[in-house]
Amino acid sequence: MFGWEFPPHISGGLGTACFGLTKGLLQQGVEVLFVVPKAYGDENQESVRIINASDIAINIELKIYQQYWKNITLMQIGSNLIPYVGTEEFENIVKNNIKKENIYEESIFKEKYEFSGKYGHNLMKEVTRYALVASTIAANNDFDIIHVHDWLTYPAGIAAKKISGKPLIAHIHATEFDRSGENINQNIYDIERKGMHEADLVIAVSNYTRNTVIERYDLNPDKVFTVYNAVDHSDFVDINDNGKSVPEKIVTFLGRVTFQKGPDYFVEAAHKVLQVDKNVRFVMAGSGDMLIRMIHRVAELGDSANFHFTGFLDVEDVKNLFAMSDVYVMPSVSEPFGISPLEAMRSSVPVVISKQSGVSEVLRHALKVDFWDIDAMADCIYGLLHYNALAEVFKEEKKEVENLKWNSSAAKVVEVYKKAMNLN
């Protein structure tokens, strides 16, 4: 299995999903070798054996790699590509880093490459080298299946498949259309499309995403299987809100503050609620290219006294925030799945989610609105804050989330593995 991050070193939901899935696979009797660009030594290895790509020595003179290297040079792209961001944030990062960029002339054929494991301005160089290291790992390990998560690892998966001949599974957690709408980065799209077409079978995290990859990436529907994400219950501790230090109700947004997550719709809906009820505090937890714009918009609307921006929160802070929250809102413009509403419901927090999300396919006890309908969103928030009977119904139905377990998702993934192995 190839991934770009693994807890506790994560930037979003992808690392969380990889951790949950590998724990579920262990319960299904599957041994996982999980390759990351950079391991820090504190990764939880109860369900996986972490392979640190930075420790792998390569010898490009070996014939087994030479043919692949002729192909991999075609995947080198002179761009600073980052998995979670849209076009605007991408451009800002490029501008900020261009001054630091030195002409890079060192040989790519060094024995080892020390990966940063970050999403920095040398990302595509790391993606390319990661693929080369993947071919070395594939030649020196015994395995049955190659499983890759999102576009950063697709070149690595293709390399491992070419060296080993083993079946390749591409797991789609998000596409470029989710991140950027119609204003896609063509380079990323091309990598995504190549990875999906080279894969023997494809796993999508929802039917919403399955339809996207079939229609936008021209995939055979028989090749694409939906396996929903889940939530990890093993480390959950129900925290009551004794730490809540404000008398007002708290409504929370948690996620990257980017186009995909719809933070602007949250701000506008919050303003409508505050017109009729000032006894509410709104929290926007996360960071991203739209954060400054959101701060300015809140100030422009005159809502600053009732709005809090926390920046990125770690796992423990997220748990504490949910413990204090009265409503959780996920107004995503395009959300392949969305694990955070499950985490909120697990903490007995009623949720409002956009219909443009994969998680809306599996949740019955959630209020669902179109992301653009800020009036409906405001009505849902107000209703959950003021009609206790409604809120209590949703709180009591958290058992719905308790049935969404990674073990069940992993069992479905194993079935996809078996199908792929029978193809060869």
User: φ, ψ for residue 263 (rounded to 5)?
Assistant: -65, -30
Within a domain: residue 94? yes
Tokens of 56: 């792998």
Q: 164-167: list long-range contacts, CB under 8 Å, 24+ apart.
A: 164/138, 164/139, 165/424, 166/138, 166/424, 167/200, 167/201, 167/417, 167/420, 167/421, 167/423, 167/424
Question: Using an 8 Å Cβ cutoff, are 86 and 289 in contact?
Answer: yes
pLDDT at 23: 92
Confidence grade of residue 98 (pLDDT, cut at 50, 70, 90): very low
Within a domain: residue 303? yes
CA-to-CA dists, residue 58 to 40, 118, 147, 154, angstroms: 21, 21, 22, 19
pLDDT at 179: 87
Find the mean pLDDT for residues 359-375. 94
Residues 282, 207, single domain; the answer is: no
Cα within 13 Å of Cα(104), Cβ side = 10
Find the mean pLDDT for residues 202-212. 96
pLDDT at 242: 54
Placement of tokens 């262990």 in the chain? 26
Q: How far apart are the first and last CA of the chain?
A: 19
Q: Kindly report the number of other CB atoms within 10 A of residue 222's CB atom.
A: 8
Bridge-based pairing state of the strands 280-285 and 168-172 = unpaired
pLDDT at 119: 62
Q: Which residues have CB under 8 Å from 387's CB, separation 6+?
A: none
Quote the radius of gyration of the chain (alpha carbons, Å): 22
Quick one: residue 181, left, alpha or beta (phi over 0 = left, psi -120 to 50 = alpha)? left
pLDDT at 293: 96
Residues 253, 204, single domain; the answer is: no
pLDDT in tens, 272-296: 999 999 999 999 999 989 999 999 9
Q: Is the pLDDT score of 417 beyond 60?
A: yes
Residues 105, 36, single domain; the answer is: yes
Closest CA to 202 of 417, 424, 423, 422: 417
Q: Is the pLDDT score of 87 beyond 80?
A: no
Residues 73, 213, single domain; the answer is: yes
Closest CA to 155 of 135, 181, 184: 135
Residues 335, 197, single domain; the answer is: no
pLDDT at 59: 62
User: φ, ψ for residue 328 (rounded to 5)?
Assistant: -115, 135
Closest CA to 343 of 250, 413, 267, 255: 255
pLDDT in tens, 110-132: 456 677 666 666 677 778 888 88
Tell me the angle at which helices 388-396 and 374-386 cross, rounded to the nearest 10 degrees. 90
Residues 125, 209, single domain; the answer is: yes
- Counting residues of the chain whose pLDDT is more than 70, the rounded percentage is 82
Q: Count how many domains the chain has.
A: 2
Within a domain: residue 282? yes
Confidence grade of residue 43 (pLDDT, cut at 50, 70, 90): confident
Least confident of 184-193, 322-331, 370-379: 184-193
Confidence grade of residue 96 (pLDDT, cut at 50, 70, 90): low
Report CA 397 to chain centroid distance, whole Å: 26
Q: Which residues have CB under 8 Å from 176's CB, separation 6+?
A: 151, 184, 185, 188, 189, 192
pLDDT at 315: 83
Residues 93, 176, single domain; the answer is: yes
pLDDT at 73: 39
Within a domain: residue 6? no
CA-to-CA dists, residue 272 to 14, 174, 266, angstroms: 33, 31, 10
Q: Is the pLDDT score of 360 beyond 80?
A: yes
Domain that holds residue 357: 241-402
Mean pLDDT of the chain: 84
Of 123 and 82, more confident? 123
Find the mean pLDDT for residues 27-53. 86
Closest CA to 265 of 327, 339, 345, 354: 354
Confidence grade of residue 402 (pLDDT, cut at 50, 70, 90): confident
Within a domain: residue 23? yes
Residues 40, 174, single domain; the answer is: yes
Residues 70, 204, single domain; the answer is: yes
Of 24 and 101, more confident? 24
Highest mean pLDDT among 33-37, 51-55, 86-90, 208-212: 208-212
Within a domain: residue 3? no
User: Residue 115 maps to which CATH number?
Assistant: 3.40.50.2000
Question: Using an 8 Å Cβ cutoff, are 410 and 28 in contact?
Answer: yes
Find the mean pLDDT for residues 174-196. 91
Within a domain: residue 2? no
Closest CA to 362 of 212, 224, 208: 208
- Burial class of residue 73 (count of CB atoms within 10 Å of its CB; 0-12, 13-18, 19+): exposed
Residues 60, 182, single domain; the answer is: yes
Q: Is the pLDDT score of 67 beyond 80?
A: no
Within a domain: residue 236? no
Residues 120, 204, single domain; the answer is: yes
Q: Is the pLDDT score of 70 beyond 70?
A: no
Highest mean pLDDT among 5-14, 59-68, 328-337: 328-337
Residue 326 three-state SS: coil
Highest mean pLDDT among 63-67, 218-222, 245-249: 218-222
Question: Using an 8 Å Cβ cutoff, are 31 and 50 in contact?
Answer: no
pLDDT at 239: 65
Find the mean pLDDT for residues 17-26. 92
Residues 29, 143, single domain; the answer is: yes
Find the mean pLDDT for residues 162-190. 91
